[in-house]
Amino acid sequence: MSEHPQRNEPPQQTDSEPASSGASSTYRFHFAARSDVGSVREQNEDSGYATSHALAVADGLGGHAGGEVASAIAVGAVATAALVSHASAVAESLHEAVQRANEVIDATESHDAHLSGMGTTLTAVAIAGSALVICHIGDSRGYLFRDNVLIPLTVDHTYVQSLIDAGRLTAEQAQHHPQRSVVLRALGGGPVTADVSVRDIREGDRILLCSDGLSGVVPDALLTRVLGGYDDPTAAVQALVELALLAGAPDNVTVVLGDVVSSPAPSRDGAIVIGAAGELRNQQAMQSEDIRSGLASASGQKTSGAAPKRVETNLRTHLTRWRLPLMFTAGLLVMLTLVRIWIFSQWWVGVDSQHVVVGRGIPQPVLGVNMGKVVSRTSILVSRLPEYERMLLNDSISARSQSDADNIASRLACRTVPVSSECAEPR
Concatenate the DSSP letters of all residues of 218-264 into one string: S-HHHHHHHHHH-SSHHHHHHHHHHHHHHTT--S-EEEEEEEEEE--
Tell me whether residue 36 or residue 251 sits nearer to Mg ion (CB atom): 251
Tell me whether residue 113 or residue 319 sits nearer to Mg ion (CB atom): 319
Tell me whether residue 1 or residue 182 sits nearer to Mg ion (CB atom): 182
Tell me whether residue 36 or residue 212 sits nearer to Mg ion (CB atom): 212
For Mg ion, which residue of 9, 205, 251, 406 counts as binding (CB under 5 A)?
251
For 212, 225, 316, 324, 421, the CA distances from 63, given in Å and listed in that order, are: 15, 33, 7, 12, 42
φ, ψ for residue 280, nearest 5 deg: -60, -40
Query: Residue 36, interface with Mg ion (CB under 5 A)?
Result: no
Radius of gyration in angstroms for the set of CA atoms belonging to the chain, rounded to a whole number: 22
The piece of 78-86, 190-198, 244-252, 265-273 that touches Mg ion (CB under 5 A) is 244-252
Q: Alpha-carbon distance 113 to 203, whole Å? A: 47
Tell me whether residue 240 or residue 296 sits nearer to Mg ion (CB atom): 240
The piece of 25-33, 51-59, 371-379, 398-406 that touches Mg ion (CB under 5 A) is 51-59
Closest distance between Mg ion and the C-beta of residue 252, in Å? 6
Q: Alpha-carbon distance 91 to 125, whole Å? A: 9
Closest distance between Mg ion and the C-beta of residue 8, in Å? 16
Q: Kindly state the number of chain residues that form the binding site for Mg ion, as judged by CB under 5 A.
A: 5
Long-range contacts of 39-42 (CB under 8 A, 24+ apart): 39/4, 39/245, 39/248, 39/249, 39/250, 39/399, 39/400, 39/404, 40/248, 40/249, 40/250, 40/251, 40/400, 41/250, 41/251, 41/252, 41/316, 42/6, 42/315, 42/316
Tell me whether residue 39 or residue 211 sits nearer to Mg ion (CB atom): 211
The piece of 192-200, 207-215, 231-239, 375-383 that touches Mg ion (CB under 5 A) is 207-215
Query: Residue 389, interface with Mg ion (CB under 5 A)?
Result: no
Tell me whether residue 40 or residue 374 sits nearer to Mg ion (CB atom): 40
Closest distance between Mg ion and the C-beta of residue 1, in Å? 26
The piece of 149-157, 160-168, 213-221, 331-339 that touches Mg ion (CB under 5 A) is 213-221
Closest distance between Mg ion and the C-beta of residue 180, in Å? 11
**245-281 burial, b for 16+ CB within 10 Å, e for fewer?**
bbbbbbbbbbbbbbbbbebeebeebbbbbbbbbbbee
Closest distance between Mg ion and the C-beta of residue 292, in Å? 24
Query: Residue 59, interface with Mg ion (CB under 5 A)?
Result: yes
Query: Residue 212, interface with Mg ion (CB under 5 A)?
Result: yes
Interface with Mg ion by CB under 5 A: which residues? 59, 211-213, 251
